[in-house]
């Protein structure tokens, strides 16, 4: 919470704009990596090892693509329904 306030009140407008854009890009990158990592682990470690040991790479890629949407939807639901970050712990 401190960095956005500092950027807003203690820097010129153009510095604030670029700084908040950089912070937003970093947050989106971390969220993207989390979703991609979770869906990849599901496709490789759960789907391939448990459900379909003989699955081809093409099939694993399709499962991963579907899992990206599922994990993203579940993450969105969790973000909208849990009131505090401490509730996740």
Query: Average pLDDT for residues 23-45, to the nearest whole number?
Result: 91
| pLDDT on residue 62 | 95
Burial environment of residue 38 by CB neighbours within 10 A (0 to 12, 13 to 18, 19 or more): middle
How do residues 56-79 score in pLDDT, each as one tens digit? 999 999 999 999 999 999 988 988
| pLDDT on residue 87 | 77
Q: Which domain holds residue 38?
A: 2-87
Number of domains within the chain: 1
Burial environment of residue 25 by CB neighbours within 10 A (0 to 12, 13 to 18, 19 or more): exposed
Tell me how far CA of residue 40 lies from CA of 2, 26, 47, 73, in angstroms.
Answer: 34, 21, 10, 16
**How far apart are the C-alpha atoms of 46 and 86, rounded to whole Å?**
28
pTM: 0.71
Residue 1 reports pLDDT greater than 80: no
């Amino acid at each position: 919470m401190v960095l956005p306030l500092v950027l807003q009140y203690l820097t010129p407008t153009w510095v604030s704009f670029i700084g908040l854009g950089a912070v937003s890009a970093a947050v989106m990158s971390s969220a993207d990596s989390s979703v991609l990592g979770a869906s990849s682990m599901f496709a490789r470690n759960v789907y391939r090892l448990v459900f379909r040991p003989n699955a081809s790479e093409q099939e694993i890629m399709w499962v991963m693509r579907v899992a990206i949407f599922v994990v993203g939807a579940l993450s969105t639901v969790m973000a909208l329904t849990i009131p505090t970050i401490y509730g996740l712990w």
